[in-house]
Chain A
Amino acid sequence: MKIAVCIKQVPDITAPLHIQNGALVFDTNRMVLNAYDASAVEAALVLLENREGSIHLFLLGPDRAKETIRKALAMGAHEATHLLVPDDAALDAYLSASLLAEQLKQHTFDILLCGKQSQDTDAGLTGTMLAEHLALPYATNAVGLTLEDDLVVATRQGDAGQEIMALETPCLVTCSNDMNNPRIPSIKGIMQSKRKPVQTISVTPDATPSTQVMGYEPLPERTPGVQWEGEPLELARRLVHHLNDEARVLS
């Protein structure tokens, strides 16, 4: 069983950030493996627990993203291809998916896994774009993933319920972080990751992006609220009074 996993390095969105002249400034330069991609790597490791196979990572990003490749290798993936670009700010989902697809066409795999979205932009487009480029059957937002004979069985969180999907291989599945808790690499894993093969290929997009961020803005300000302490009955009465007479949301 050959599993390919697309991963991405993203800024740590929990760290403080601010806007300077419309541009985004991160107060720390901490970069992390996208949480949804970490779940995709974990899913691949779980699928191979009682099965022969290998996990090949594909990352599109600048030089500093190699730390993120090491992290996923330390979790247990076997090898990686780094599609090197000078700066990933010049890419949008469309260009990223095209570059990844071009590379993936030169490899064979049974399952291609991606995170369902990236933590920084929350766009959630690259996975299904890849599936279309590669003409693969696919499922998105998977919260469960197993193998049954020749079929991949993905549980997809839909709008009102969970859709249990059976897919022929090769197929693509995008993973939710509700699927699993990604393992923390062990010391041994970290040591081994240093000897695992990473192939670096420089790539250039053949077009300018069709979508572009023109600038960043703060959220519209909320009117500051009030905070009450006191006896439960007193709190309940005060709240209902305000909801009814001031906010007028009870009717």
Chain B
Amino acid sequence: MSKILTYLAVQDGKIKRASLEVLSHCRALAQEHGWTVESVLLHPDARSLATTAQQYGAETVYYMDHPQLQAHLNAPFLAALHAVITHANPHVVAFASSEAVKDMLGALAVRTQAAVLSDVASFHIIAGGVEAKRPVMASKLIARTQAQGARVLVSVRAGAYTAEEAPTEAALVPLPFTFDVDTLKQQVREVVQDALGTLDLSETQVVVAAGRGVKDEAGKALVTQLADTLGAAIGASRAVVESGLFPASAQVGQTGKVVSPDLYIAVGISGAIQHVAGMQNSRVIVAINKDGDAPIFNYATYGLVGDLYAVLPPLINEIKQVLPTTPE
């Protein structure tokens, strides 16, 4: 019987929601085609995390819990994934797209002799392979793309599917991690955490994003206050990442992250296609911009023409009044 294997990425001690979304989709595909759906976990705490995989419907969970798999580094993770894929021999391997996955996917395709589709908005199984929709040309349009082969790797953008529980009695299969650390020709010297706060931009339901209209620390404080009031993660345009006002990990767009929250509030952002590429699938988009002709208004559900320095203070107040309790 054919198999579909889902890679469950771990961040801050938890399986990423985006990975569970992909697992839920894979379970539905497996049901439709009479396949089995399996998962792989690579983390020192993999064994305890495997219960989450069972809750979301994986029928077998392969895991490696070697200490080397605590933090991302391409060579050991590649070796581990290669070993699991060789052992499990799945037809399709699905990933939630992230910088860590982008750091491995092409190399893994070569090593496992698989066809590969990256950053798809959706995918399904066809005879002899996988068909996917990929946003291209800075997400101006969608390419319907097919991958043919005995093995296909596919990475999926966050928010493409909904995670749904479907408990199973999954078999837990430990596999040995045999990578020889002494062969490493690269090492991570240091990780500089630059995320604003603890909320993961690609996993929260509300994002408040700042652009060049946010000129200074006072503007940044207003944006932060609005985000805190809403329990939102903070995003940014390239312009304010370049100026140093916001960290690079907050960048949304073609170079930065792709997000699709329930609510995206663009503050002082013009709406260049490379920015829009990263946020146009948000359910509700609010734009606050003093230029009524800014392209961002073409995408906005609600557009406010005004100076952000004047609009944000009353907006924060009004939101506080309707929210039952204000998150810290």
B141 in contact with A227 (CB, 8 Å): no
Of residues B149, B186, B251, which shows the largest number of chain A Cβ atoms within 10 Å of its Cβ?
A: B186
Say which size band chain A's interface belongs to: 35 or more
List, in ascending order, chain A residues with CB within 8 A of B193's CB. Answer: 160-161
Whether a CB of chain B sits under 8 angstroms from the CB of A139 is yes
Nearest CB on A from B225, distance (A)? 13
Whether a CB of chain B sits under 8 angstroms from the CB of A126 is yes
List, in ascending order, chain B residues with CB within 8 A of A211's CB. Answer: 115-117, 145-148
- CB contact list, A146-171 vs B, under 8 A: 153, 156-168, 171
Nearest CB on B from A238, distance (A)? 8
Q: How far, in whole Å, are A222 and B284 apart by their CA atoms in the complex?
A: 10
A13-B273, A171-B186 known; A161 and B102 CB under 8 Å? Answer: no
Interface size of B by Cβ–Cβ distance < 8 Å?
A: 93
Candidates A94, A229, A243; contact of B284 at CB < 8 Å: A243
List, in ascending order, chain A residues with CB within 8 A of B118's CB. Answer: 123-125
Nearest CB on B from A25, distance (A)? 11
A164 in contact with B255 (CB, 8 Å): no
Whether a CB of chain B sits under 8 angstroms from the CB of A237 is yes
B249 in contact with A247 (CB, 8 Å): no
A247 in contact with B315 (CB, 8 Å): no
A94 in contact with B137 (CB, 8 Å): no
List, in ascending order, chain B residues with CB within 8 A of A235's CB. Answer: 304, 306, 311, 314-315
List the interface of chain A (C-beta within 8 A of B).
11, 13-14, 17, 19, 24, 93-94, 97, 119-133, 137-141, 143, 153, 156-168, 171, 176-178, 210-219, 222-223, 225-230, 232-233, 235-237, 239-240, 242-244, 247, 249-251
Please list 7 pairs of residues, one from A and one from B, whose beta carbons are closer than 8 Å in the complex, sorted by A's number: A124-B119, A128-B103, A164-B192, A210-B115, A211-B116, A219-B280, A236-B314
User: Can you add 7 more A-B contacts, CB < 8 Å, to A163-B72, A219-B280, A227-B300?
Assistant: A94-B115, A132-B107, A164-B192, A211-B148, A218-B141, A222-B301, A228-B303
List the interface of chain B (C-beta within 8 A of A).
11, 72, 74-75, 98-100, 102-107, 109-111, 115-119, 131, 133-149, 184-195, 200, 206, 230, 238, 241-242, 248-249, 251, 254-255, 262-263, 273, 280, 283-286, 292, 297, 299-307, 310-311, 313-315, 317-319, 321-324
